[in-house]
Structure 1
Amino acid sequence: MASGRMEFHAQSIMQHANFSFVLPNDVEMAEVKEPKHYERPTKSLLLLHGLTGTDTDWLFGGVAQEMAIQYNLAVFMPTTGNSFYLDKGYVGGNFCQFVGEELPDYIHKVFGYFSDREDSLIAGLSMGGYGAIHTAFAYPDRFSQCIALSSAIHLDDIAKADASATNLMPVEMLTDIFGDLSKLMESDKNPKVQFEKLKREGKKIPRLYMAIGTEDSPELYNANTDFRDFLKKENADFFFEDGPGKHDWTFWNDYLNRGLSWMLG
């Protein structure tokens, strides 16, 4: 098992960008519960952090190393700040381009991973759950599958935010991230809009696994079940489940494993 942390100059966000990685290149098979995962080539997983997080969150709080071992996954975890993994439309502020294009290209050049769509996955928690869905739909030729945990996909609430409301994020911050909030729901920052566009254009749509704890905030829980209902109506290839749990690592670690089990068999 190889692990480490690197940085490189990312043009899309115009900064030296950090990412951590775990590679199952010398795993002892006695550690592996399902050896069948080693009968195929190693798959690549881009794993995204939540609000206020960093590239080391899934290493220190999460189970990135264990998932790499058990599922034969090369796991890469970037730091992107509180960007929601969205593009601002100018070089230096394009975080969707960074995680969906520039970082996988760099990883492929250096490590050889992310070479094939069918072997490339993206996942995340909370803000990173939203980011995983949005990025997968923005780059459907790059990612074949997506895991979204406790996703901050409550765009209806974000669109209605104003200076008088009590929000986790100030309305000025939301506006900086999402742009004109009055136009958010019709924009390509809305995964429903993205999905409809992909379907209309006849493009491949990544398979989606979603999960949220029943003890999570009502805003997030309702938003996740609303998106579930949308996907069901659209006959999407997805799986949704909820269960006892809060917005915490106990839930995310358990359901990342469940999501990978569903996706990889």
Structure 2
Amino acid sequence: MKRINLYLFLFGCLLSLSTMAAKVDTLNIQSQKMNRTLKAAVVLPESYQKVNKPFPVLYLLHGGSGGFRDWLTKVADKTLLHRMADQYNLIIVTPDGDPTSYYFDSPMVKESQFETFITKDLVEKIDKSYRTVKDKKGRVIAGLSMGGHGAMYLSTRHPELFAAAGSMSGVMNINTAAWKVPAEFAKSRADNFVKLLGERKEGEHPHPGYTMVTLVDRLKANGLPFILDIGVEDFLIDTNRDLHARLLANGVPHDYIERPGAHTWEYWENALPFQLMFFNKILKANGVAVQYY
């Protein structure tokens, strides 16, 4: 009986590996502005080797204290990105964003220029290295927590590059007084923003122009489709509800989802497929979704 169970276990492992058809590359990307090399993982769907067409790309950003392999290693289902790439026939790129960069070009720290890194160095490298849709119609961007802020911030500042954006548990207000966190953590992040962006301004928004709740007019002018997804137990729920209310008041179209859950990988693993459904509809409307059966 033990031997039979072992055979069944080994068969299940082989079956799991055979169905995880997507391939993962790791790239080194040179940042001229930061004078250093960073990494990105690239998930290629099985269809990439079988269909001679340009493929759309999802740029998927990690959160604070994270790294470029988080989306591949920290989810319970280690096949998640492989399955999403295969299901929607798109390339998924997970770049390094440093632990606390928030994807800004820092005016204070020359080694933290992640707006330029993502929107210039990374996009150019991916378009040169792979058969991609080399146009905004085929690029979407999303992320969790710090990466949710990054996806929204970068797409808002560069609407010429992306067709849509998504945030999962995103930092929609970098004023840490609006976060439901211990005072010590709030102070550490507030100090980080001062280091990156300079001294705080007085009032509700200490770093205006660098936080999504101050960019509603720009979101409206850009007209870029986007989706906000947040758990009701998340410590960032108030910042997301605040942005949602501002968007409604200003007539800015957007998708907004609240579901049970907290600031956890369990939540983000469940949220990502919803984001992919949203993006797939847009990629289809743009005529760049790859059909493969």
Q: Does the pair score TM above 0.5?
A: yes
Q: Report matched runs for 1:41-120 at 5 Å.
A: 42-62=55-75, 63-81=80-98, 82-89=100-107, 92-113=111-132, 115-120=134-139
Find the counterpart in structure 2 of residue 20 from structure 1.
Answer: 41
Are the aligned partners of 1:159 and 1:185 in contact in 2 as well (CA < 8 Å)?
Answer: no
Find the counterpart in structure 1 of residue 261 from structure 2.
Answer: 245
TM-superposition CA deviations, 1:95-146 (whole Å, max 9, x none): 1111122210111112142511111000000010011100110111001111
Find the counterpart in structure 1 of residue 232 from structure 2.
Answer: 214
Name the CA distance, whole Å, in 2 between partners of 1:93 and 1:264: 32
Greater C-alpha radius of gyration: 2
4+ residue runs over 4 A deviation: 183-186
Partner amino acid, structure 2, of 1:263: F
Partner amino acid, structure 1, of 2:87: Q
* Percent identity between the two aligned chains: 25
Find the counterpart in structure 2 of residue 227 from structure 1.
Answer: 243
Find the counterpart in structure 1 of residue 153 from structure 2.
Answer: 134
Name the CA distance, whole Å, in 1 between partners of 2:196 and 2:207: 15
* Aligned-partner SS, 1:115: coil
Find the counterpart in structure 1 of residue 27 from structure 2.
Answer: 6
Aligned length: 248
Are the aligned partners of 1:12 and 1:102 in contact in 2 as well (CA < 8 Å)?
Answer: no
1:4 positional shift: 1.6
- Unmatched segments (≥5 aa) in structure 2: 1-21, 282-293
TM-score, normalised on structure 2? Answer: 0.76
* Aligned-partner SS, 2:201: helix
C-alpha distance 213-159 of structure 1, shift in aligned 2 (>3 A): closer
Name the CA distance, whole Å, in 1 between partners of 2:211 and 2:230: 19
Partner amino acid, structure 2, of 1:16: T
Name the CA distance, whole Å, in 1 between partners of 2:54 and 2:187: 42
The farther-off stretch of 172-181 and 79-88 is 172-181
Backbone CA RMSD of aligned residues: 2.6
> Which one has more relative contact order, counting CA pairs under 8 Å at least 6 apart?
2
* Aligned-partner SS, 1:65: helix
* Aligned-partner SS, 1:247: coil
1:254 positional shift: 1.1
